[in-house]
C-alpha cells in the first residue's frame, strides 16, 4: 500500500472525510453534522468534542433531509450521513423538493458506494444512485478515490452554494493523488497516453491503475483519469483528455445505465466525437449471491481479470 507523503499509512476514507468536516465545524459553529445512526471513530471524536453541532437523528432519513433543509434555510451548513440506498433512493423526493428546488447548501454523505456492503446484499448495494442523482438539476456529485480526494470533496462542498452528494467508500486505500492536486478541475489525469484512456471513478480508479499494470507490456501509453466530480461533468477537461485518445473505457462499480459511462457517451454525442467507447460496469441485474466485495465483483465481471479480458477482447491484444 502506497504511503502518505510523510511516510504514514493511508487512513480510512471515512476518517479522512469526517475529520475534515470536524475541523471545519471546530472553526465555524454554523457547521452541523446529522447522522441517521451511522458512526465511525472519527464521528465519535466529533460528537464528544462538539455535541451541540452533532445530531443522531435516528433511523429516519427522510426526516433528516427535511430538518437539514430547515437548518440550511436559517443559515446553517449541514452535512448529513446515511448508507446510500436509504439516503438517496428512499429520500429522492425530499432531496429534489427540500434541497434541489431551493438550491440549499446541504451536503449528503452517502456511505458504501457500489458493492461496498458486499455480503449485506442488494438492499445495501448502491449501484443506481449516480444515475438518479445525475438527473437532479443543481446537484453536485463527488466520488473520491483516496483520502486526499475525500478531504477535497469536503472543502469543495463547503464552498458550494447548492446541494452536494459525496459517495464515501470505507477502508484504507492507496494514495493516488497529491494533497494539492487540482481537484477543482473535476477530472485528474493520473497517467497520460495517446491510445486507450480508462476513466475511473471512486475506488474503481484504484482498479484502473491495476488493470493498466496488467495490460503491460502490451499496453503502451494507456491513459488513466480519475473522474472525481461526476456532476456537473467537467466537460472541457474531459474533452482535452478524450481528444488525445483512440479508445475509451469507463470503469464504475455501478449499473451502466445512467452512470459515468452514460455521462461520457453523452459528452461524445454532444460534441460529435466518434471515438469508440466501452462502458464497463454492472449490467442490468442485482447481485444474486453473497460474499466479499471481490467475490461480488467477480460475479458481475468487475474483478481485475474479467475487466482485463473484457478490454483485450474489445480492442484486441495488439492494440492494448
Partner 1 sequence: MNIPSIDAEALHRKARQLRLRILEAIAKAGKGHIGGAYSCLDILVALYHGKVLNVDPRNPKWPERDRFILSKGHSGIALYAVLSDLGFFDVAAMNTVCQDGSSLGEHPDHRIPGVEIDTGSLGHGLNIGAGMALNAKMDGLPYFTFVLLGDGECYEGTVWEALLFAAHHQLNNLVAIIDRNRQITLDFTEDCIRLEPLEKKICDFGWDVVMVDGHSYEKLNAVLKASRQPESRKPLAIIANTIKGKGVSFMERQLKWHHGMPNAQEIEIARKELSSP
Which x/- pattern, by CB under 8 A, does the window 2-21 give for partner 1?
--------------------
In the complex, minimum distance from the CB of residue 94 to partner 1, in angstroms, rounded to a whole number: 7
In 3D, which of 116, 140, 134 has the Cα closest to residue 126?
116
Residue closer to partner 1 (CB basis): 77 or 125: 77
- Name the minimum Å distance from CB 81 to partner 1: 16
Q: Report how far residue 188's alpha carbon sits from residue 190's, in angstroms, rounded to the nearest whole number.
A: 6
Please list every residue from 90 through 129 that binds partner 1, using CB under 8 A. Answer: 93-94, 97-98, 101-102
- Of these, 23, 38, 62, 312, which contacts partner 1 (CB under 8 A)? 62
Check: CB of residue 36 under 8 Å from CB of residue 80.
Answer: yes
Q: How far is the CB of 32 from partner 1 (least distance, A)?
A: 8
| Choice between 48 and 74, CB closer to partner 1 | 74
- How far apart CA 52 and CA 49 sit, in angstroms, is 9
**156 lines the binding site for partner 1 (CB under 8 A):** no
Of the CA atoms within 13 Å of residue 30, those in its CB half-sphere come to 9
Let me know: does 201 contact 176? Beta carbons within 8 Å.
Answer: no
Report how far residue 202's alpha carbon sits from residue 144's, in angstroms, rounded to the nearest whole number: 5
Rounded CA separation 93/90 (Å):
8
289: alpha, beta or left, given left = phi > 0 and alpha = psi -120 to 50?
beta
Sheet holding 187-191, edge to edge: 187-191, 223-227, 196-200, 247-255, 277-282
Query: Rounded to the nearest whole angstrom, what is the least distance from the CB of residue 104 to partner 1 in the complex?
Result: 10
Among 76, 125, 167, 237, binds partner 1 (CB under 8 A): 76
To partner 1, the closest distance from the beta carbon of 308 in angstroms equals: 47
Member of 21, 57, 145, 300 binding partner 1 (CB under 8 A): 57
Pairing of strands 187-191, 223-227: antiparallel
- Identified binder of partner 1 from the candidate list 16, 20, 43, 65, rule CB under 8 A: 65
Task: Give yes or no for a contact between 129 and 151, defined as CB atoms under 8 angstroms apart.
Answer: no
| CA-closest candidate to residue 144, choices 96, 107, 118 | 107
Contact flag: residue 60 with partner 1 (CB under 8 A):
yes
Footprint of partner 1 on 213-272 (CB under 8 A): none
Does residue 306 interact with partner 1 by CB under 8 A? no
- Point out which span in 13-21, 54-62, 185-193, 220-228 binds partner 1 (CB under 8 A): 54-62
In the complex, minimum distance from the CB of residue 131 to partner 1, in angstroms, rounded to a whole number: 22
CB of 259 to partner 1, least distance (A): 27
Q: Report the distance separating Cα 115 and Cα 32, nearest Å.
A: 29
- DSSP β-bridge partners for residue 107: 79, 164
* Secondary element (H or E) of residue 139: none
Compute the least distance from the CB of residue 196 to partner 1, in Å. 46
- By CB under 8 A, name the one of 41, 70, 273, 286 that touches partner 1: 70
Question: Applying CB under 8 A, which of residues 63, 160, 192, 206 lies at the interface with partner 1?
Answer: 63
Q: How far apart are CA 137 and CA 142, in angstroms?
A: 15
* Residues making contact with partner 1 (CB under 8 A): 52, 57-58, 60, 62-63, 65-76, 93-94, 97-98, 101-102
Amino acid at each position: 500500500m502506497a504511503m502518505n507523503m510523510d511516510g504514514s499509512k493511508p487512513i480510512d476514507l471515512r476518517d479522512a472525510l469526517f475529520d475534515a468536516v470536524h475541523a471545519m465545524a471546530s472553526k465555524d459553529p454554523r457547521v452541523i453534522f446529522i447522522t441517521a445512526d451511522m458512526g465511525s471513530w472519527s464521528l465519535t471524536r466529533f460528537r464528544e468534542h462538539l455535541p451541540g453541532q452533532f445530531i443522531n437523528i435516528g433511523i429516519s432519513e427522510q426526516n433528516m433531509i427535511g430538518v437539514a433543509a430547515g437548518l440550511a434555510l436559517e443559515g446553517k451548513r449541514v452535512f448529513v450521513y446515511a448508507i446510500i440506498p436509504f439516503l438517496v433512493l428512499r429520500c429522492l423526493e425530499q432531496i429534489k423538493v427540500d434541497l434541489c428546488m431551493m438550491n440549499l447548501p446541504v451536503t449528503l454523505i452517502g456511505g458504501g458506494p457500489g458493492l461496498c456492503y458486499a455480503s449485506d446484499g442488494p438492499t445495501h448495494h448502491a449501484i443506481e444512485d449516480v444515475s438518479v442523482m445525475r438527473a437532479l438539476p443543481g446537484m453536485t456529485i463527488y466520488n473520491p478515490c483516496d483520502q486526499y480526494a475525500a478531504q477535497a470533496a469536503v472543502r469543495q462542498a463547503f464552498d458550494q452554494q447548492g446541494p452536494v452528494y459525496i459517495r464515501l467508500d470505507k477502508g484504507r486505500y492507496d494514495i493516488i493523488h497529491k494533497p494539492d492536486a487540482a481537484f477543482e478541475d473535476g477530472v485528474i489525469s493520473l497517467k497520460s497516453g495517446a491510445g486507450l484512456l480508462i476513466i475511473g471513478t471512486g475506488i474503481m480508479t484504484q482498479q484502473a491503475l491495476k488493470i493498466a499494470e496488467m495490460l503491460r507490456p502490451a499496453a503502451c501509453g494507456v491513459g488513466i483519469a480519475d473522474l472525481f466530480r461526476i456532476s456537473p461533468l467537467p466537460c472541457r477537461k474531459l474533452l482535452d483528455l478524450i481528444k488525445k485518445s483512440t479508445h475509451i473505457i469507463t470503469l464504475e462499480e455501478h449499473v451502466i445505465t445512467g452512470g459515468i459511462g452514460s455521462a461520457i457517451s453523452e459528452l461524445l454525442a454532444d460534441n460529435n466525437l466518434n471515438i469508440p467507447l466501452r462502458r464497463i460496469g454492472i449490467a442490468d441485474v442485482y447481485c444474486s449471491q453473497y460474499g466479499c466485495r471481490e467475490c461480488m465483483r467477480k460475479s458481475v465481471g468487475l474483478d481485475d481479470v474479467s475487466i482485463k479480458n473484457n478490454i483485450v477482447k474489445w480492442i484486441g491484444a495488439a492494440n492494448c
